[in-house]
Chain A
Amino acid sequence: QSALTQPASVSGSPGQSITISCTGTSRDVGDYNYVSWYQQHSGKAPKLLIYDVSSRPSGLSDRFSGAKSGNTASLTISGLQAEDEADYYCSSYTSSSTYVFGTGTKVTVL
Chain B
Amino acid sequence: QVQLQESGPGLVRPSETLSLTCSVSGDSIGSGYYWAWMRQPPGKGLEWIGSVFFGGTTYYNPSLKSRVTISVNTSKNQFSLRLTSVTAADTAVYYCAKGSLFHAGWFDPWGQGTLVTVSS
Q: Answer whether residue B95 sits at the interface, using C-beta atoms and an 8 A cutoff.
A: yes
Per the CB 8 Å criterion, the residue count for chain B at the interface is: 25
Q: Answer whether residue B46 sits at the interface, using C-beta atoms and an 8 A cutoff.
A: yes
**Which of A3, A32, A44, A104 makes the CB contact (< 8 A) with B104?**
A32
**Which of B61, B107, B109 makes the CB contact (< 8 A) with A98?**
B61
Q: Answer whether residue B16 sits at the interface, using C-beta atoms and an 8 A cutoff.
A: no
**Which of B36, B38, B45, B105 makes the CB contact (< 8 A) with A104?**
B45
Q: Are A97 and B103 interface neighbours, CB within 8 A?
A: yes
Q: Are A89 and B105 interface neighbours, CB within 8 A?
A: no
Complex CA–CA separation, A91 to B95 (angstroms): 15
Q: Answer whether residue B110 sits at the interface, using C-beta atoms and an 8 A cutoff.
A: yes
Range, interface on chain A? 20 to 34
Question: Given the known A-B contacts A101-B47, A103-B45, are A47 and B110 also in contact in the complex, defined by CB atoms under 8 Å?
Answer: yes
How many residue pairs between the two chains, A and B, have CB atoms under 8 Å in the bound complex? 70
Q: Are B113 and A57 interface neighbours, CB within 8 A?
A: no
Q: Are A45 and B110 interface neighbours, CB within 8 A?
A: yes
Complex CA–CA separation, A97 to B60 (angstroms): 9
With A36-B106, A91-B48, A97-B103 known, 8 other A-B pairs at CB within 8 A are A3-B45, A38-B46, A47-B109, A48-B107, A98-B61, A99-B36, A99-B61, A101-B45
Complex CA–CA separation, A45 to B46 (angstroms): 11
A88 CB to closest chain B CB, in angstroms? 11
Question: Given the known A-B contacts A46-B95, A89-B45, A101-B46, are A51 and B62 also in contact in the complex, defined by CB atoms under 8 Å?
Answer: no
Q: Answer whether residue B27 sits at the interface, using C-beta atoms and an 8 A cutoff.
A: no
Residues in B neighbouring A99, C-beta threshold 8 A: 36, 48, 51, 61
